[in-house]
Structure 1
């Protein structure tokens, strides 16, 4: 559950490319003779006609960067694919936090070279380790140069090696974007941080703190809400440090953003990761924000260790007592508050006693989310030169802490409760939809895809270690109609799957208690829908059945609009007129026949 995130960059508008003299290019290979192609297939030399595979490693900030790069490539005409085999070029957005993610990058680069694919490497690895041997002969683009990805891709496809790493002003927030989840916007609020942790390689890539202005962030929030986004994640290396470089602070930003959120709660805000030092100054103001109906009562606060000695060696700039103050204050002031945290096991110099303090801290608070990581020495960091704990001991401590964490049952008190959830995604099993409570607890429900982007009231039927199972008891009426018809497009709104994307649509939505049998939408109907919904989903639709359509048609007869009624009356009158006419003409025709 890492929220170590970043930013995007300003530059030329989509389709307008800067002079290529500003790029550092090397001729990687001589152009090969290509066979003549017919008029149907575009020439591979024409920019914007190729297919791109984008692979992202790391945090949600990296995911946002990839979405921005994908948006620019798509706007320029490039096709995006999830199949690496079909792609002409692979764009790999890398993470340098831990050795395994960098190893995965190196493996993918090797596969790309073997498949003779054009490669562009983006993200923290090339920015923080530009002399890495694995990057030799490959085009690279830095974390603050993503607004020029089209240029780099174009030149790479021509056979040139491009290196674009120089830093500049913060990238623009209004670049084209292709979201992985169309209902979730990852909004970077700043880049870099003010810390100097001894183990952190990300600081080498992301640099010092650079915050976006409140005005630019508010403008971006307005734009994404108008596009139908239902969750907005604030992304940052350290959310609590926001604004210290431009004379503002986090509460000022949060209050400005909250003022723009729809009053009906159709769009929720999630605050990103924050280290303890800077949020300590604003705890009561942050608690007030977290109590707001449109803000998830959830915060990611890494502690890393339960020992002050280890925190000192990490140069974390806070104590265990400071962390306790943050957690205790938020739990006291915010109902149903959920805290996530991080632990590094086996940091250099960590003794058995230090580790026991960490275990005791985790047992005391029983956090619902703990990201447990073994220490990985990152080249160029101070911690890489410290005396290491044996790898056997590091793995042992990691396994022990994981076992302790997995023994918790943090959601046991939720069983039987009624919760309002915001539904934004399909679960990995392809069967359930995923919604989140106010405390950002994951709720799995059986429901049609047409409920994506909507809210619902659910009863928690059972609880598990990582999520809970909910039964829908109240859903938007329009979503019910679309569920029955298996039609993802609402007639009341131009945007699919949601009737809350416009105020005028939202005002028309009524809620229906599906626990009752009124209008035929009681438990019997929901039960009859379950076999249909339990099938695996195909992208944006679920399989249709004749019974489902017949039930929907029977129900809709009781909910005609005034225009429908006029049409029905007109048809009835026409049929009656035809019948009268036939009743007069038929006897005359029979009489003529017999004469």
Structure 2
């Protein structure tokens, strides 16, 4: 096995590691010498272009948390910037890049399966993420290249050497990767921003600490700079991500409230970009609860926080080395719910931790019943090699599974969104639902709202009326758009106050050239051909935009089965809109006399054609005379 530094230094290319000369310069093309060019062209016919760095296709698979997703987006951005193609098709890819997670055994098992599949397909493999960083000597990693969690800024070098047939490993580093690297976001409206790596805890079951290491925080200035940059790029949600958000800055002399206040100051005042605070363990926010609550109340910050409790038993929390008690966890939750209107808390539970008795488990069930959390991530205990918990006496697997099912049943019996019907909420729309016919938005409390509307609404903020609710989300009807995606402004209707010929009509839509009645005070949309909203004041206010929204009703439980049908309906709707627009244009052109102008141009064309024919006949006659 070779070290990547040995492969890259002194290679004789005259370029630093990770840098390539343009292909033309590398092959030495000289256009002025025609004969040499022919020889070069013949030689290139037999050259395997697949060997040219940056021309291959990469398949990238990501397991695990949002931090891992951010790492993959950074790696994808660098590979794309160097010319590599990214594909979700495993077969067409020239190399597989697998970003792994070590939190649970199933994730690592999925990684093992994918590596074996790649080997059988003779694909060059690069494995990144927490598994190789924390367990570099795994048998499954033999013969594959490895890039560490803090070496993602050198993924291009690792990929290039792997494509050459070298097995390389790049794991050790003392500084954090830069935040301004190229990035290809999975969702262009969502920026996952890592604020620190590693943590200060030492949980007995956790393998991630082995991979991510001790706490390492980015500076406030670097994070503020990144936020400014992504807002300029059109990002509408910024997720702060780390292994423990609450521990931020303790290694560099600052804290989370200082960072949050600095970031909030950069957010647009119109609320077009929202901030979501990432997972934080109870010990590190207890001393900052009031400051964090103040930030969570800010209009541009989601009133949502993920605070893992893991168990409702102090005995089990001690065995886990979680460094807090159940009462301290309750203090965090109670304080935030009291100080932040509409506050939503998500938490985690591990069922069947070594030593957990029926009484311990019952305390966990009672905690969940008491708070009725809208989101609970329930996991069975998985012993991770190398952790203290892996050496503890295990609870029988059948009991672990039984407890997991029982807690899941209790959790799913809650209906957290009862009473939301009829309420009007502001949402931020950033994604398309899996059914293909709904858009996904979130309230300030980060409650998922499904709405029907054109894809041009992605990236917009809107007021919606909640029409129905389900177990995991609610359904809404768009009332009006508050802020919109700059890239889709041409698809929205901006209502402007114009003069109307009729004294009973007070305002018009510039695009549709349609006046609105004083009595109804409604504004019409060119795209829908119908009124989409009713305003209580003059509809000449340019900050209000309206879009047509389908009124078709759908039961909350039915949307998952509508994938293909929903997609077809959306396509049909878009086609209908385009067809209507074309008809309007044609009709408008007729009114303006476009057809008469076309007739005039047709006469000119005929005259020019006759002149050309006569000229050709004259030339032929002269040629015959001289011959």
Scaled by the length of structure 2, the TM-score of the pair is 0.77
- Residue in structure 2 matched with residue 3 of structure 1 by the alignment: none
Q: Distance in 2 between matches of 1:390 and 1:516?
A: 68
CA contact (8 A) 2:461 2:484 kept: no
- Residue in structure 2 matched with residue 122 of structure 1 by the alignment: 128
Q: Distance in 1 between matches of 2:483 and 2:138?
A: 57
- Residue in structure 2 matched with residue 522 of structure 1 by the alignment: 531
1:145 aligns with one of 148, 151, 161: 151
- Residue in structure 2 matched with residue 548 of structure 1 by the alignment: 577
Q: Distance in 2 between matches of 1:295 and 1:556?
A: 44
SS at match of 2:91: helix
- Residue in structure 1 matched with residue 343 of structure 2 by the alignment: 337
- Residue in structure 1 matched with residue 324 of structure 2 by the alignment: 318
- Residue in structure 1 matched with residue 269 of structure 2 by the alignment: 263
- Residue in structure 2 matched with residue 407 of structure 1 by the alignment: 413
- Residue in structure 1 matched with residue 303 of structure 2 by the alignment: 297
RMSD of aligned C-alpha atoms?
3.4
SS at match of 1:121: strand
Q: Answer 1 or 2: higher relative contact order, Cα 8 Å, separation at least 6.
A: 1
CA contact (8 A) 1:441 1:467 kept: yes
CA contact (8 A) 1:448 1:533 kept: no
2:182 aligns with one of 176, 180, 183: 176
Q: Distance in 2 between matches of 1:326 and 1:117?
A: 49
Deviations 1:434-477 (A, max 9, x none): 00000000001111111101111111111000011111111269
Alignment of 1:6-405 (within 5 A): 17-18=16-17, 39=45, 43-405=49-411
Residues 416 and 175 of structure 1: CA distance in aligned 2, closer, same or farther (over 3 Å): same
Q: Distance in 2 between matches of 1:78 and 1:228?
A: 24
Q: Distance in 2 between matches of 1:57 and 1:288?
A: 34
CA contact (8 A) 1:51 1:87 kept: yes
Q: CA deviation at 1:547?
A: 4.0
SS at match of 1:205: helix
Residues 141 and 287 of structure 1: CA distance in aligned 2, closer, same or farther (over 3 Å): same
Q: CA deviation at 1:125?
A: 0.1
Q: Distance in 2 between matches of 1:355 and 1:533?
A: 39
CA contact (8 A) 2:145 2:167 kept: yes
SS at match of 1:186: strand
Q: Distance in 1 between matches of 2:66 and 2:212?
A: 14
Residues 475 and 392 of structure 1: CA distance in aligned 2, closer, same or farther (over 3 Å): same
Q: Distance in 2 between matches of 1:137 and 1:477?
A: 52
Alignment of 1:558-573 (within 5 A): none
Q: Distance in 2 between matches of 1:542 and 1:477?
A: 25
SS at match of 2:225: helix
- Residue in structure 2 matched with residue 454 of structure 1 by the alignment: 460
Q: Distance in 2 between matches of 1:573 and 1:54?
A: 53
Q: Distance in 2 between matches of 1:478 and 1:521?
A: 21
Q: Distance in 1 between matches of 2:379 and 2:153?
A: 33
- Residue in structure 1 matched with residue 440 of structure 2 by the alignment: 434
Q: Distance in 2 between matches of 1:470 and 1:557?
A: 36
- Residue in structure 2 matched with residue 419 of structure 1 by the alignment: 425
Q: CA deviation at 1:491?
A: 4.3
Q: Which has the larger radius of gyration?
A: 2
Q: Distance in 2 between matches of 1:428 and 1:458?
A: 20
SS at match of 2:167: strand
Q: Distance in 2 between matches of 1:233 and 1:16?
A: 37
Residues 376 and 45 of structure 1: CA distance in aligned 2, closer, same or farther (over 3 Å): same
Residues 552 and 473 of structure 1: CA distance in aligned 2, closer, same or farther (over 3 Å): farther
Q: CA deviation at 1:275?
A: 0.2
